[in-house]
Amino acid sequence: MLKQIAQTGFNTIRLPFTNQLFDPGNKANGINYQLNPDLKGLSGLALMDRIIQGAGKIGLKVILDRHDPTADLRPPMWFTGQMPQSRWINDWTMLAQHYRGNDAIIGADLANEPHGPVTWGDGNPNTDWRMAAEQAGNAILAVNPDWLIIVEGIEQFHYDFYWWGGNLEGAAQYPVRLSEPDKLVYSAHDYGPEVSWQSWFQTRNPSDLAHTLPAVWEKHWAYLQTSGTAPVLMGEFGGSSMGGDAEGVWQRTLVNFLKTNNMSYTYWSWNPDSGDTGGILEYDWKTVNQSKMDVLSAYQWPMLGQPASGTNNHAGAIPKAYQWPPSK
C-alpha cells in the first residue's frame, strides 16, 4: 500500500496515532497477519517504527499526527483527566528524540481538531490552545530542531464558529511563538455540506460556491499564507463527490484555491472507511477512486528531495497520503 501511495503521486503520509499506542500491554486490533506476517508480535512504538521504515525505504515522508488521546475517545481538548497535558508533551518529546536524525519524518501535527470550549490567546491554561501548542512545540524543538511544528486551528474565535480545527482567526492577534520560528506551520481542516451543512453553502446554484467560498477560506485560515505570515497546511478535507453538486463544487474549488495560493494539503483519506467522506481507495481497499484522482493529480509535487521535472510541478496530498511543496 505504501508503494501504491507513491505510485499514485503522493509524497508524504500523515500518520494518525493515539497516546494509548504507547501504553505498556496495549495491543493493536484489526491487523490481518496473513497479509502482514512481519507485524505479528509488534505493538506500540515498534509498529510505528515499521511503517516509518517502510515509507522511508521508498522515499515517502511522514507527518506524525496525534489524532486522539485514546483509541475510543475524541475529546474537545488535547488532553483528558486520564491522559493529561504532561503526558501529551512527554510523548511528543519521546518521539522527537526517538526519531531524531530520521529524515523520513518531517513534522509533528500536535493535536487533531481542538474544538468546543478551546480558546486561542486568552491565557487560560486549561483552554488556551495557542499556549499549549507553544509549550509542546518548543519542547519538541529542544530535542529535535529539524521537525516542522504543525498547529491546527480551533472551532470558534470570538463567537465565529467554523469547522473543528479549522478556525485560525486568532493567530492574527496571537501568533504561535516558537524557539525556531521558521519551523511553524499552521493547519486548518475544511469540509463540505456532505459532512455538515453550513450557512456559507447556502445558494440557489451550487456553481455559485466557486465564487463565494474563497472569501470564507481567506477569513478563517488562508490569510496567514496569502499575507506572508506563515505557511498553511490544509490538513484535512475530503468528500465522496467531485461532480456538479454542492459537495463536488466545494471540493474542486478548494483544490484550485490551494493550487492558486501554493498551499500544501493532506486529503482525508487514503483508506475508504473514513466515515462520511470515503477515501482515495474504493471499498475493496485496492482500486483507486479515479474521480478523486482526476482532481487531486492536477496539484501534486514530486517526491521530496528530488528535482522537479518538466512544467507539471504541482503540490497536493492526503492524511494517509499527503503532499508538501519542496520549498517548505
What pLDDT, on the 0 to 100 scale, is given for residue 273?
Answer: 86
What pLDDT, on the 0 to 100 scale, is given for residue 27?
Answer: 87
The average pLDDT across 54-80 equals: 96
What pLDDT, on the 0 to 100 scale, is given for residue 20?
Answer: 96
Number of domains making up the chain:
1
Exactly one of 113, 169, 194, 247 is catalytic; name it. 113
**Within-domain flag for 328:** no
- Please report, for the domain that includes residue 300, its CATH number: 3.20.20.80
List pLDDT tens digits, range 19-62.
999 999 888 888 999 999 999 999 999 999 999 999 999 999 99
Known catalytic membership, residue 113: yes
**SS3 string of the chain?**
CHHHHHHCCCCEEEEEEEHHHHCCCCCCCCCCCCCCHHHCCCCCHHHHHHHHHHHHHCCCEEEEEEEECECCECCCCCCCCCCCHHHHHHHHHHHHHHCCCCCCEEEEECCCCCCCCCECCCCCCCCEHHHHHHHHHHHHHHHCCCCEEEEECECEECCEECCCCCECHHHCCCCCCCCCHHHEEEEEECCCCCCCCCHHHCCCCHHHHHHHHHHHHHHHHHHHHHCCCCCEEEEECCCCCCCCCHHHHHHHHHHHHHHHCCCEEECCCCCCCCCCCCCCECCCCCCECHHHHHHHCCCCCCCCCCCCCCCCCCCCCECCCEECCCCC
- With 70 as the cut, is the pLDDT of residue 12 above it? yes
List pLDDT tens digits, range 177-188.
999 999 999 999
List pLDDT tens digits, range 227-241.
999 999 999 999 999
Range of the domain at 192: 2-323
Exactly one of 134, 152, 155, 236 is catalytic; name it. 236
**Within-domain flag for 98:** yes
- pLDDT classification of 309: cutoffs 50, 70, 90: very low
**Within-domain flag for 109:** yes
